[in-house]
Amino acid sequence: MEFDLSTQPEIVQQAADYALQGFELARSWALSPAAWSQFALLVVAYLLALVVARRMRGTLGRLLAPEAEDETMLAHARRSVLLFLPLLLPLLAYAFTALGESIVRSLFDSGAVIAFGKRVFMFLAVRTLVQEIIKDPLLRLLGRYVLIPLAAIYALGLLDLLVAELNGMTVSLGNISFSVMSLIRGIVAGGVLFWLGGWSNRQTADFIEKQENMRPSMRQLMAKATEFTIFGVAFLLLLNIMGINLSALAVIGGAIGVGLGFGLQKIASNFISGVILLIEGQATVGDFVELDGGESGQIVRMTARAAILETFDGRWIVVPNEDFITTRVTNYSDSGSANRYEAPFSVSYDTDINQVPGIIEAAVATHPDVLDVPCPPDCELRGFGDSGIDFAVEFWVNGLDDGPNKYTSDVLFLIWNALKEHDIEIPYPQRVVEIKGGLPQAEA
């Protein structure tokens, strides 16, 4: 039965032509004894792959499965390998079919049917990879709308024709030109490369973070340097895969240089300041700092551009790295140092003040966080006030007198209890009022 498609669009005519060729090919396979033998080989290859995959899956599962509590880098790598076990069946079927194809072609100089079956097994492997193994949203999206369609076209034997057409279509951006095929290849390769870069960066960062013998600032510096290196190499590899001439990026590099010289000099200054901070370790994550401008808080994160401070009332302050270099910074949490605080109080003028220092120092020393080094609690006479005698006790602690720690409040409680225990009066304001001329007489 024939149809007149001369009046239809060219794409419809080409589709009908391909459909007719496929029908003729399928009919020739159905009527050919050689094709039947190749179908039989496909069935044998699949059944053999099914048996081998079942045995290998159990063996590999036992060999590669780490202990549940094992969190080393090797254990994570072994768990990652176990995720690819569903690919065993289609890949083994592909391998056995490829072996059968080579045998059939050497004997009969024909193997179109078994070659088609081999490509179908590869399509099934790609489909399994996208649907069962890939969990990253970006890679799953690329696999669903790029990789699976390409695998289907490959299974139909049209991939070479499609590649030739796409290679003939070019896209130009200024003096940089590349083919549409290079663009598609770059999208797929870019997704894979940057996913691998993100995965390897996370693994490396976790490994560096566990090196407790290194300073926190050096751990952060190494993590940042590793991150820049990984993604820089991935970017260069992506350009090479897309076939872009790296010399053509000289113009872009020059533009970036001009931008750094004018509009981006603050960003460059903050980036370099961040590197200096990480190298010197004067301020790092976890430190409580106070800047000359009044900003104060605990450093919870250090980025390439700025440090993020968290105050004790939950607010975040973004401070450019340059401010840590060009202004005065007070660090209350520097490694190996303690902080000194004082708690003022007063006693009555009726008190024997010679007893007060010993009583207060002994009471404050009972606090579990008060240190004996560099100096034990020290009670000092500060002056004679209007209502009482003023004292203050100085004490050293490892920490800040704010947020979760209220050292001064605890010390004042200890002072109050100690004075009450020794019957020492804490005065309150008293005033003497003198009325000149006496009180007025009340009239009778």
Q: Indicate which CATH number applies to the domain containing 385.
A: 3.30.70.100
**Which residue, 157, 181, 206, sits at the end of a domain?**
157
Tell me if residue 225 falls in helix, strand or coil. helix
Q: Tell me whether residue 437 is in a domain.
A: no
**Domain identity same for 102 and 208:** no
- CB count within 10 Å of CB 24 equals 10
**Cβ neighbours of residue 186 under 8 Å, at least 6 residues apart?**
238, 241, 242
Q: According to the model, what pLDDT value does residue 382 have?
A: 92
Q: Span 285-291, mean pLDDT?
A: 82
What pLDDT score was predicted for residue 246?
A: 62
The SS3 assignment for 208 reads helix
Three-class SS state of 346: strand
Q: Which residues contact 236 (CB under 8 A, 6 or more apart)?
A: 246
Which tokens hold the place of 257?
């240089």
Query: Does some domain include residue 177?
Result: yes
Q: What pLDDT, on the 0 to 100 scale, is given for residue 335?
A: 47
pLDDT tens per residue across span 367-412: 998 998 888 999 999 999 888 999 999 999 987 777 777 889 999 9
Residue 1 is predicted with a pLDDT of 46
My answer on whether 147 and 177 are in the same domain is: no
Answer with the one of 278, 307, 331 that is the final residue of a domain.
331
Q: Which domain holds residue 90?
A: 32-157
Number of domains, the chain: 4
Same domain, 188 and 286: no
How far from 19 is each of 11, 29, 31, 48, 156, CA to CA, in Å?
12, 15, 19, 33, 12
> Are residues 183 and 129 both part of a single domain?
no
Task: Say if residue 327 is in the same domain as residue 350.
Answer: no
CA 431 vs. chain centroid, Å, equals 65
The residue behind tokens 């995965």 is 199
CA distances to 256, 267, 275, 283, 325 from 303, rounded to whole Å, are 21, 12, 10, 13, 15
**pLDDT above 90: residue 434:** no
Residue 93 pLDDT level (bands cut at 50, 70, 90): confident
Q: Which of 55, 77, 57 is nearest to 66 (CA)?
A: 77
Indicate whether this model's pTM tops 0.95: no
* Distance between CA atoms of residues 395 and 31, nearest Å: 99
Domain boundary among 244, 273, 296: 244
* CA angle centred on 279, ends 274 and 282, rounded to 5°: 80
**pLDDT level of residue 207 (50, 70, 90 thresholds):** confident
pLDDT surpasses 70 at 40: yes
In the three-class reduction of DSSP (H, G, I as helix; E, B as strand; rest coil), residue 248 is classed as: helix
In terms of domains, do 52 and 142 share one? yes
Q: Say if residue 141 is in the same domain as residue 232.
A: no
Could you tell me if 58 and 142 lie in one domain? yes
Quick check: is 7 in a domain?
no
Torsion sign (Cα): 229, 232, 319, 401: negative
Residue range 62-78, pLDDT digits in tens: 777 777 666 676 777 77
Both 60 and 148 in one domain: the answer is yes
Structure tokens at 255: 């533009």
- Cβ-contact 104, 41 below 8 angstroms: yes
Q: Based on the domain organization, do 139 and 226 belong to the same domain? A: no
* Pair 280, 234 in one domain: no
- The answer to whether residue 232 is domain-embedded is yes
Q: Which residues pair with 379 in a beta bridge?
A: 393
Asked if residue 141 and residue 44 are part of one domain, the reply reads yes
- Assign residue 280 the CATH number of its domain: 2.30.30.60
Q: Is 134 helix (H, G, I), strand (E, B) or coil?
A: coil
